[in-house]
Amino acid sequence: MYAWLNIDSNWNPYENTGNLPIAIVNKDKGTVILNENINMGNSLVESLKGNNAMKWSFTDEAEAREKVNKSEFYGEIDIPKDFSKNIVLIFENGNIKRSELDFYVNQKKNPIAPIIVSKAVGAIQTTINQNIVNALIYKSLGMANSAKLLTNHIKSTDDIIDKLNKGKEGVYDLSSIFKVLKLIADSTNNSISALRDLLPTVNSLTGTSEDGIKNIKGTMDSFKNLSNDIDNVVDSIENDRKEILDIINSFDLDPMKENKDIISNKISEIDTRLTNNKERIQNIQTLISILGEHVQLEGLSALQRQLQEVVNEIDNTQTIISNNRKTEKDINNINKKLKSIHGQEKGVSKAYRNDIKKNLDSAYDNSSKSMDILSDLLNNLDGAAEKTDSALAYMMKAIGNSKDLTDNLDNTCSRLQNDIGKIIDNLSDSKKSEMYNKFVNLIKNDPVDVANFLSTPVETVESAVYGTDKNGSQLTYGSKMAPFYSVLACWVGCILLITIVKTEITGVEGIEKFKNYQKFLGRFAIFALMALSQGFLVGLGDIFLKVQVKYPFYFILTIMITSFVFMLFVYSLTLSFGRVGEGMSVIVLVLQIAGSGGTFPVEMLPKAFQFAQPIMPFYPAMNLIRETIGGFYGNNFLKYMLMLLSHMIIPLLLGLIFRTPLIHMLEKVDKELEKTAMII
């Protein structure tokens, strides 16, 4: 009964989730997208009205919250007023704000219900997401079809390719122009460079000319000084000529009248002055010769001849003077010569001052002015050369920058041509590409079908492994739980039998003749028969309840063997340890209920249970029954059978080998327990 009631009550609870009341509160105000009013809250409510996963109750917030608190509802789902608005917000301004469903669940009402309700809410969320994607894709494809997007796209692509080809030709023309500009820049740069190379020569010539002008000015200054020297010499000659003339006029031609010594002194003075004049005249000749080497002036040669005549006349006069007799005739000749010299010197002085001096001063003045003008010109030329060089350098730099710019523009044009060519090729190829054809095929399809596919592109196909019965039907939850409740019922039944039926043999005549192990086996035979009967009834009842069993014979046999092993285990503990043994059987039962993996996977249990599970009798027993329900695999049935039978070793050791010493220990324990007057 224990197994049958539990199996029947858990036969298929997850198919009855439609009986769980869940409140739905819709506060969504809706919004507009793609010129269309939408209200995802209303859409959700409409979809839930045809959904039997839960018992949906559509009410207001106050009533829903009150019934959740009163445990009339297992949970409440609130759809907020900005639910639809938040969904489409990303399409309006690019902001992402996830819509939220406010979910309230009553954790007190039932421990399993919140988990089931949470799964249902997750399913609702998935449905909403799919519906949103479905609606957007359907609307987009519908608009694309109505606007003939594909046809317009093809035409636009052809227009773009045509315009790009024209643009490519224009870029080619620009590239040709830039190449010509580059050649012009190179030629201009070379010309300016050559001109700059000449500027140092101009500067050098300017410097040389300036040095020459300085030298000429120095020479002119020398000529000026030379002219002054000549003037000074001429002035000295004129002064001496006047003094000599005074001496001549003072002569008394009668030597008798004048003292000879006086005459001799005067003649000596005249001779000295003539010598001085001769030296001066010779100096003038030298200066005039120097002047004649550099300046071409009329009258220089004539002046030189006149000066030489004066020198010759002075020489003749001094020859006469050198005569010691100094007669009157000599004095007269000297006087004549001196007058002749005086006249000649006067003519020379007049010729120099009227012709040579005047022309020389005029030439000096003109030359000096010319040199000043030429010097200013050269100074200006030197400054102009520097400015010209700076200007040419700036021009070369500007032309260089222009050339670099032209090169960059030319390279840019080349790259632009290549890029345009690639774009044209890509656009042309895109119309021929497989992806383009797939897009065309996609857009040609029915928008409803495409939207349904893209909103749920992946479907899960569940293939049950050992999850169907011999007819191919899906195993029910009750069938899956049958192994646990069946072995649990066997163990509980064994404990109840031990409690009802006495384990000790008392009041039988001649019992003392039997050995302890014989008593153990003899008494166990009764319990074994009851255990086998119990197992047979449990298995037969499971089948009667329509537990989906693939191998009914092995199913009943396995439960009978399980009941037999469990009975031996409980019988041995109780016989060996009395009431304590019964308690130990209950403790082992409790541990196995918690940690054998009958309800939850053992991997989800604490580590202690994961460690202890393989040594629990429930573990091989449940796996044996699962093999008979889901199907055999390899040697699993034999392996688990050996594991189950191995649990007979300890009970047999207790009953056959350690029975005698345990009897004495048990008698002492029973006496002590009787003294407490609390244990039966």
41 band by pLDDT with thresholds 50, 70 and 90: confident
314 band by pLDDT with thresholds 50, 70 and 90: confident
147 band by pLDDT with thresholds 50, 70 and 90: very low
Domain of residue 257, CATH code: 1.10.287
CA atoms of 155 and 194, how far apart (whole Å): 59
What is the full DSSP assignment across 384-453?
Answer: HHHHHHHHHHHHHHHHHHHHHHHHHHHHHHHHHHHHHHHHHHHHHHHHHSHHHHHHHHHHHS-HHHHHHH
- Dihedral (CA of 474, 478, 483, 486) sign: negative
Burial of 3 per CB tally in 10 Å (0-12, 13-18, 19+) = buried
Question: Which residues lie below 8 Å from residue 167, measured CB to CB, with a gap of 6+?
Answer: 420
Question: Is 488 part of a structural domain of the chain?
Answer: yes
230-236 long-range contacts, CB within 8 A, separation 24+: 230/284, 230/287, 230/288, 230/352, 230/357, 231/357, 233/280, 233/281, 233/283, 233/284, 233/287, 234/284, 234/348, 234/349, 234/352, 234/353, 236/276, 236/280
Question: Do 189 and 335 sit in the same domain of this protein?
Answer: yes
Mean predicted confidence (pLDDT) in 311-338 = 69
pLDDT for residue 643 is more than 90: yes
Question: Do 274 and 375 sit in the same domain of this protein?
Answer: yes
Question: Do 52 and 112 sit in the same domain of this protein?
Answer: yes
Q: Give the highest mean pLDDT range of 253-267, 419-433, 515-529.
A: 515-529
Residue 58: beta bridge partners?
Answer: 24
CA atoms of 571 and 495, how far apart (whole Å): 8
The Cβ of residue 567 has, within 10 Å, a number of other Cβ atoms equal to 27
Question: Do 236 and 361 sit in the same domain of this protein?
Answer: yes
Residue 23: beta bridge partners?
Answer: 57, 76
What is the full DSSP assignment across 279-316?
Answer: HHHHHHHHHHHHHHHH---TTHHHHHHHHHHHHHHHHH
466: left (phi over 0), alpha (psi -120 to 50) or beta: left
Question: Do 63 and 119 sit in the same domain of this protein?
Answer: yes
Structure tokens at 55: 């018992």
Mean predicted confidence (pLDDT) in 316-343 = 68
User: Which range of residues forms the domain containing residue 395?
Assistant: 165-421
b/e per residue 645-657 (b: at least 16 CB within 10 A): eebeeebeebbee
Structure tokens at 345: 């010197």
Question: Do 284 and 415 sit in the same domain of this protein?
Answer: yes
Torsion angle, alpha carbons of 658, 663, 665, 670, to 10:
150
Question: Is 96 part of a structural domain of the chain?
Answer: yes
CA atoms of 58 and 22, how far apart (whole Å): 9
CA atoms of 480 and 629, how far apart (whole Å): 8
The Cβ of residue 322 has, within 10 Å, a number of other Cβ atoms equal to 9
- Dihedral (CA of 38, 39, 42, 45) sign: positive
Contact 29, 85 (CB under 8 A): yes
Amino acid at 489: A
pLDDT for residue 455 is more than 70: no
Rounded to a whole number, what is the distance in angstroms from the first to the last CA of the chain? Answer: 28
170 band by pLDDT with thresholds 50, 70 and 90: low
CA distances from 565 to 1, 36, 529, 570, 635 (A): 20, 72, 12, 9, 21
Mean predicted confidence (pLDDT) in 17-39 = 82
Mean predicted confidence (pLDDT) in 488-501 = 90
Mean predicted confidence (pLDDT) in 670-678 = 62
User: Max CA-CA distance within the chain?
Assistant: 231
Question: Is 431 part of a structural domain of the chain?
Answer: no
Question: Which residues lie below 8 Å from residue 586, measured CB to CB, with a gap of 6+?
Answer: 495
Contact 65, 84 (CB under 8 A): no
| Per-residue pLDDT tens digits for 72-122 | 888 888 888 888 888 777 666 666 667 778 888 877 776 676 777 777 777
Question: Do 169 and 289 sit in the same domain of this protein?
Answer: yes
Question: Is 332 part of a structural domain of the chain?
Answer: yes
pLDDT of residue 261: 63
Residue 77 CA to its chain's centroid (Å): 45
pLDDT of residue 256: 44
Of the candidates 106, 614, 157, 124, which has an alpha carbon nearest to the alpha carbon of residue 424? 157
DSSP, collapsed to helix, strand or coil, labels residue 678 as: coil
Q: What's the domain count of the chain?
A: 3
Of the candidates 107, 322, 371, which has an alpha carbon nearest to the alpha carbon of residue 221? 371
Question: Do 304 and 179 sit in the same domain of this protein?
Answer: yes
561 band by pLDDT with thresholds 50, 70 and 90: very high
Residue 38: beta bridge partners?
Answer: 31
pLDDT of residue 614: 86
Backbone angles phi, psi at 142, to 5 degrees: -65, -45
Question: Is 157 part of a structural domain of the chain?
Answer: no
Question: Do 450 and 493 sit in the same domain of this protein?
Answer: no
Question: Do 370 and 262 sit in the same domain of this protein?
Answer: yes
CA atoms of 173 and 182, how far apart (whole Å): 14
CA atoms of 139 and 126, how far apart (whole Å): 20
Mean predicted confidence (pLDDT) in 460-472 = 67
Q: Give the highest mean pLDDT range of 205-219, 416-430, 620-634.
A: 620-634
b/e per residue 190-215 (b: at least 16 CB within 10 A): eebeeeeeeeeeeeeebeebbeebee
pLDDT for residue 396 is more than 70: no
Based on DSSP, count helices (H) and strands (E) in the chain, helices before strands. 21, 6
Domain of residue 84, CATH code: 3.40.1710
Amino acid at 124: I
pLDDT of residue 262: 65
Contact 233, 305 (CB under 8 A): no
Contact 84, 38 (CB under 8 A): yes
Question: Is 301 part of a structural domain of the chain?
Answer: yes
Question: Do 493 and 520 sit in the same domain of this protein?
Answer: yes
pLDDT for residue 492 is more than 80: yes
| Per-residue pLDDT tens digits for 3-13 | 677 676 666 66
Contact 320, 330 (CB under 8 A): yes
CA distances from 106 to 73, 112, 393 (A): 8, 11, 91
Mean predicted confidence (pLDDT) in 212-216 = 60
Burial of 2 per CB tally in 10 Å (0-12, 13-18, 19+) = middle
Site of tokens 């509802």:
73
Question: Do 366 and 261 sit in the same domain of this protein?
Answer: yes
Q: Which helix (H) or strand (E) holds 75?
A: strand 75-79
Question: Is 178 part of a structural domain of the chain?
Answer: yes
Amino acid at 549: V
Question: Is 11 part of a structural domain of the chain?
Answer: no
pLDDT of residue 562: 95
